[in-house]
Each structure stands twice: as structure tokens, then as C-alpha cells.
A and B are shown apart, each in its own frame.
Chain A
Amino acid sequence: MSSSLTGSQALAKLALRRDRIMLPAWVYVVVIGVCANAYTFNRLYTTESSRAALVASGESNPALLFLYGRLSGTSVGALTAWRYGVWGALFAALMSVFIVIRHTRADEEAGRLELIGSARVGRQAPLVSALAVATLANVVLTVLLCVLLPLIGLPFTGSAALALAIGTCGLAFTGISAVAAQLTSGARAARGLVFGVLGASFLARAVGDSAGAGGPSWLTWVLPLGWTETLRPFAGERWWVLALPLAVFAAGTWAAFALAERRDHGAGLIADRPGRPAATSLLRGPFSLAWRLQWPALAGWAAGFAFIFAVSGAAGKGIGSLVGTSGTLRDEFTRLGGQAAIVNAYLAALMLLAGLVAAAYGVSAVLRLRAEETEGRAEPVLAASVGRVRWGLSHLLVALTGTALLLAVAGVAAGLGYGLPAGGIGDQMARMLGAGLAQLPAALVIVGIAAAAFGMVPGASVAVGWTTVGLAVLLNIFGQVLQLSHWVLDISPFTHVPRLPGGTVSASPLLWLSLVALALGTAGLAALRRRDIG
């Protein structure tokens, strides 16, 4: 066994060197998110009564339960754990997925591990080093939270529980990613598998939390993200819950090693099917090529959207009563959702979430251009009789239609899910379709920024694209609680979208956002015409 581990340390050092920017950035995002929330709650909700009011509103509102989880107390710590515990764990999980897949399957697919494997490096060394780096990142963020949260003024025990809840969730997904990296022969597919598990985890706990009494609240217990809540940080910690993510980590690690020991280099357990010996007449130009390359991912996203928003829509049926008694609570709630009935606010919050996630999809679809360029696959296309604008446009069009499709799916699925028990399916689907598509111009502005970056600053386009998405999530999901001024909130295009359903529709912001998106896309394509490729 020891010989199959030779070189792990050298590989781990190499991985740390390659990730010297990405790794601290991820840790920073998780840690700063938790600390900013803790700091804000500590400063703004100083009295017990103000916190109790917030808790009352949070507990009776399915939209908030869905997005953030259940409340386990009225202390500042409990509020922090409520508002950012699940999300912090989600980010830690994302970080772990990216680290593990990047240093295992992605390297193997790119052929880099072949070179390494020929050196004095054991067969299991890449997996060991990837696991070590991911574990290190999770340990570092756990320790940082353990130190920083008490400094903000939170009790140490609860801080440690929250930090461990987030860190062990990262570890659980480290184990799951390690298994996924053995199953598929492509890194994209491996990441897709883990995102599927992550999406299901979020959904299971979201439905479990917002179902209310008599609903399937046990769902919170089923998958990793929910364990962040069931540990109950700051509210009589159930320490034994920590054994669950650690068990997933251990089982995943063991399974990954067992699988890696048995399989061939480059192969996955899910075998590739042979392709067609000749192309069909459908594959004939840059547009059909872009579609062919991108549709499997889009289909996955669409299926995920359909499922998540149908279930989330159905969770809205029990909401009828108005929430909260104090005016401040209602204000807070109005800002988050809509002006009219709480149902509409809940559905509008869902559509905001759909808009943000659809924008993330659009950015990933645009950045495919950059991957094609750097991996040398743009060259044969551009050396054929295909102009740069046509090539750029081919993937931008997939991003545009994909984003629109996802938002339409989100709207229709939420309408169906809500309308099925509540009645009036047709009307619900129609108005939710409108509400979903209303997010499109804002999402396209984010997508447009990625496109402009690809044309103008290609080397930084990946960073610019994802930072923009992250910023929009920060402003629109956490901006209220951080009590950012409206000047800052106005930066996000989603701030300008009418809150639908329920809100008043005004065409002018949608028109302006569309024009901005169009201008950004055009600027990107114009810059692409003038620059060097490669």
C-alpha cells in the first residue's frame, strides 16, 4: 500500500501551489460570509425583543425557511447559524467539489496525471493529495471560524459547533467528490454528479424546513446540508450529529480508494458509449456545434430546475396568513419578496433565486468560449470558414436561450407545483412563466458582463464572470441583512427587476437592462474581432 502512496506529499505541494489564489479566496468567501452575518446581527439586533420578532417572522414564513432553514433560538448566534449556516456549508461543499475534481479527474482527463503517473508516484497519490488539500482547506476555515466568531462576541461552544458543521459538510462533499471522480471519465460529468447530490441536499432540507408541522420535516435529516441545522449550533448542540458528515467522508474516501485500485488509468466506471461513425446533417455549422457541445449540460440544469421549482412551488400552498406583527418585520419581508400577499412574496423570492442560478448557468455557458479557446478547440473552427463573430455568437446564443429556457422552466414548474394543490393550474403557470421570464434581462446583464470580459480581458474572463455572479448573490440574498445602502444594492441588476408575481410591472427597467445586456454582448464580440486568439 505504501508504494501506491509514494509522491503524495510532493503532489499535495504542487496542488497547493496551483491553487494558491483560488484556495484562500474560497476560504475567505465562507469565513467572511459567516462573520459578516454574525457581526451585523450582533450590531443591529441588540435587544431580545427585536431578535424575537425576527425569529417569529422567520419561523412563520416558508420563503425564509426554504432559503435559510429553521430557527433554533433567539440568540445572535442562533440567528447567524440560521441565516448563513446552510449557505456557508453550501459554499464549503462547492469549494471541496472544485478542489477534489480539479486535482483528480480533471487532471487525468487532460493527460497531466499520465505524466505524473510515469514518475515515481504511486497510483493512489493524486487522490491522496487531492483529499489532503481539500481536508486542509476545510480544517483552516473551521479553525478560522472558531477563532473569529468568539471575537465578534458569540459564545465559544456555539461558534465551534457552527464552524464544525460547516467544515464537516465540506468534508462530506470531499468524500462524495472523490467517489464521483472515479465514476465518470470526464471532469464535467463528475462535477455534475456532485452538483446533483448538492442540489438534492439543499432541496431536501428546504422542503423539510418549510413543510411545517405534519409535513415531511424528516427530510432535513436525510442529506448533508440539513445536518448543519440539526446539529443546533448555539441552541443545545447535538454533537453526535457531527458523526454523520464524518461518516460520509470516511465512506466516500474508502470507496474512492477501492474504486481507484480497480480501474484503469483514464477510465471511469460509467463507460463511454461509441459515437456515430459519421455526423448527421444536423451538425453542420458553429451554431449546431455549440448546441451539440452544450445541450447535455443544459438538459441537466433544466431537469434540476424543473424538479426544484416544482417542489418549491408546492411548498407554497400552506401559506395564507400574513406574517409578523411589527412593522419593521413586514418591511424586511417586503424588501425580500413582494408587496402583496405572502404567497406572492414567497414565489417572488423563488423567482429571484431562479434568476441568480440561471445567471450562473449563463455565465458557465459563455465561459465555454474561453475553454474552447485555451484548450485549442477554437483554432480548427476559426481556421475553417467561420468568422470570429459567428463563433462567439454561437455560444452566446446558447447562453441566451439556455438562461431563458431555465427561467421559463422555473416559472412553469413553480406554477405547476403551486397550482396543483391550490387550483387554477393554467393561470398559475401563465403568471409564473411571466414572473420567471421577468428575471431574464437582469440575468442577461450578468451573462453580458462575462461575454464582454471574454472579448476584452480573456485571461481574466473566468474570474470576472464568477465574481459577478457571486456579487449578485451577495447583494440580493444577503444585502438586506447586511443593511447595505440602496446605492450599493442598486449595483445588482436583480434589484431593478419588478417583484413578480404580485408586484407592479413596469417595462422600463426591463427594457434598460436588456439594452445594457445587449451592449455588453456587442462590446465583447467587437473586442473578440480585434484580439489575438489563443
Chain B
Amino acid sequence: MANAIEASGLRKRFGPTKALDGLDLTVRTGEVHAFLGPNGAGKTTTIRILLGLLRKDGGEVSLLGGDPWRDATTLHSRLAYVPGDVTLWPSLSGGEIIDLLGRLRGRAVDPKRRQALIERFDLDPAKKARAYSKGNRQKVALIAALASDAELLVLDEPTSGLDPLMEANFRECVNAERRDGRTVLLSSHILAEAEALADRVTIIRAGQTVETGTLADMRHLTRTTVDAELAGPLELDSMPGIHNAVLDGARLRCEVDNAALTEVLRRLSAVGVRTLTCRPPTLEELFLRHYSERTVAALQP
């Protein structure tokens, strides 16, 4: 089984709104696949179809070689899921919920692994779920999923609510999962998270797949946004690997291909730099810059 998830032309309507409109998604076995899109793009709807919670209106979908709607129960014993908005039973403790979710999957969690994860994520398992913060609820669901021996992990925006330290812990855990040969589908709206973890990415927008491939394939996605206040005049034309540059007096805003970053910075420092900010573009910026025109063009005959 080369592909853990295969979906093509997936469609789903909720009344008048088209949530999915011909979405394609292929996740190879053993890879960490980032599923990116802005809020409301259809990430969660896709995941809910993959989990057999929603019935697709059209298209083809297979999960771990089975039909996610028909074979839901058997397939679910081979996957673990962390919902985007974790709600727990208020009267149960975190520890109880971790054990329960493992047992509901058909296999008890490994106690050593469970304990290690609880310590790693610094969770108090004796607290009732009612008393947990959003981040702690997220940890309960993550620990339950990571402690399982599932072949496939489906994580819907798993780091929302986690602090940076816990986020780093989470990334280490996902890398460990990859080394163990497990498949991870990670939905996110944060590009940096995908860059740090994913082998391949699929980008969706308005229920359609816009782009899919390795991050290396998408050079334009890995440009760095540079915002600098300069001490002297700069000649823009001669700069290599620079895109969408705006020079407003002494202030330069542009995107730079990572390969050309050294050269660009050398030239900037030659002119003199008062302030300098470099950051990866946000997903929203990418959509604005790379896909809005294409979408408009596609709509025109």
C-alpha cells in the first residue's frame, strides 16, 4: 500500500455552501504530510470525511486501503485522531480519558510510553477535564494519539493552544513517529510548522487543491520576506532572486529566494542597514501573492 490516503474530486455541500469542490489529496505511507489552507478552506471537512463522520457527496476516497464510510470501525483501530477543537468529558480526569481513548481504539496504551509522554508534556493526569485549559485539553488528546501504536496519525491543527516549549516537544514527537515509519496527516494554517515537519504538503483553498508536492518543489513557498530600513540608496534592478520588491524611500520590502539570501544581505549591508526583519511568509501572504491571481484567471473564460 503505497498511499495511506487517496482522495480525488472530493465534494461536500452543507446546504447552499460548497465546503469541498473537487479536492484532491494523496498521502504516501510513511510520510509526514502537511495539509495547509486558511481558515474555512475545508481542512476539517476533509478530515471528517476521512474519518467517516461525514458522507461525501461525490469523488473518490480511500483510507488505509479501505472505504472510510463503510469500513469506519475497522479502519479506526489503525489510526489515531486529534481534533482541532478538543472537548472532553468534564467529569473524567485527563488520565482516564487517555486510557479510555486507547481502549476505544481497541488497544490499551503502553503504560511506559504513556508515562513518558505525560512527563514530556507536563500534564497533571489526575485533574478533571473541567479544570483543564485549552492547551491542556489539547495535550490530553495528543498524548492519547501519540501513545497509541496507530499506523496513521490524523492531527487537525494540533498545536493551537500549545505554548512554544510544548510546540517544540510536539515537533520532536512527530519526527520520532516518522522514524518509526508511521504516516502523519497534519492540518495547519501555519506554514512554518509545515516547513519544520512535513515531507510533502498539500495546499487547499475554498475546497479545492491548489498545489501539492515537496516543499523543495515549491521554491516560491520558501522565500523569505525581508523588511529593511536602509542607510543609503539601493539599486533594485541588479538584485538577484528578489520578488515583489517595494522601495519606499529608505524602506525596502521584498521576498527573497532562500538561495539568494546571502547575496542580497551582502548588498544590503554594503549600503548600510538601520533595521532588518526577516521572516518566512505567512500562508495568508502566499495565498494573496500566488493564488489569488490564478483563481481570478481560472474564473475567466
The residues of A with any CB-CB pair to B shorter than 8 Å are 109, 185-186, 272-279, 283-286, 289, 292-293, 296, 375-377, 379-388, 530-534
Contacts and interface: CB of A to CB of B under 8 A. Distances in A.
B211 to A, nearest CB: 28
B130 interface: yes
Interface in B83-127: 83, 85-101, 103-106, 125-127
Contact of A277 (B53, B90, B95, B100): B95
B83 A279 contact: no
A279 B100 contact: yes
Contacts of A375: 87
A186 B103 contact: no
B265 interface: no
Interface stretch (B30-38, B69-77, B221-229, B270-278): B69-77
B145 to A, nearest CB: 10
B76 A292 contact: no
A12 to B, nearest CB: 28
Given A272-B128, A384-B77, 16 more contacts: A186-B90, A275-B92, A275-B94, A275-B128, A279-B99, A283-B96, A284-B103, A286-B104, A296-B91, A375-B87, A380-B81, A384-B81, A384-B101, A385-B74, A385-B105, A531-B55
A272 B100 contact: no
B53 A534 contact: yes
B87 A376 contact: yes
Contact of B126 (A185, A274, A292, A293): A274
What class of interface size applies to chain B in its complex with A?
35 or more
Contacts of B77: 384-385
B48 interface: yes
Contact of B130 (A185, A278, A532, A533): A185
B127 A275 contact: yes
Contacts of A284: 100, 103
A296 B86 CA distance: 24
Task: State the main secondary structure of chain A at its contact with B.
Answer: loop
Contacts of B90: 109, 186
A262 B131 CA distance: 19
A386 B104 CA distance: 7
Given A275-B96, A380-B81, A534-B48, A387 B73 contact: yes
Contacts of A386: 73, 76, 104
A432 to B, nearest CB: 34
Given A272-B130, A375-B87, A289 B93 contact: no
B141 interface: yes
A289 B95 CA distance: 14
B127 A377 contact: no
Contacts of A186: 90-91, 130
Nearest to A389: B73
Nearest to B148: A384
Contacts of B93: 274-277
B54 interface: yes
Nearest to B134: A111
B51 interface: yes
A275 B54 CA distance: 34
B53 A379 contact: yes
Question: For B86, B89, B99, B100, which residue has the most chain A Cβ atoms within 10 angstroms?
Answer: B100
Nearest to A372: B89
Closest 3 pairs (CB-CB, A-B): A275-B93, A279-B99, A384-B104
B87 A377 contact: yes
Contacts of B83: 376, 379-380, 383
Nearest to B88: A377
B99 A278 contact: yes
B62 to A, nearest CB: 17
A383 B51 contact: yes
A532 B55 contact: yes
A533 B106 CA distance: 21
A43 to B, nearest CB: 48
A216 B76 CA distance: 62
Interface in B3-17: none
A379 to B, nearest CB: 6
Contacts of A377: 87-89
Given A380-B101, A381-B104, A278 B53 contact: no
19 contacts: A109-B90, A272-B128, A275-B128, A277-B93, A279-B99, A283-B96, A284-B100, A293-B89, A376-B85, A376-B87, A377-B87, A382-B51, A383-B81, A384-B77, A384-B106, A385-B77, A385-B105, A388-B72, A533-B48
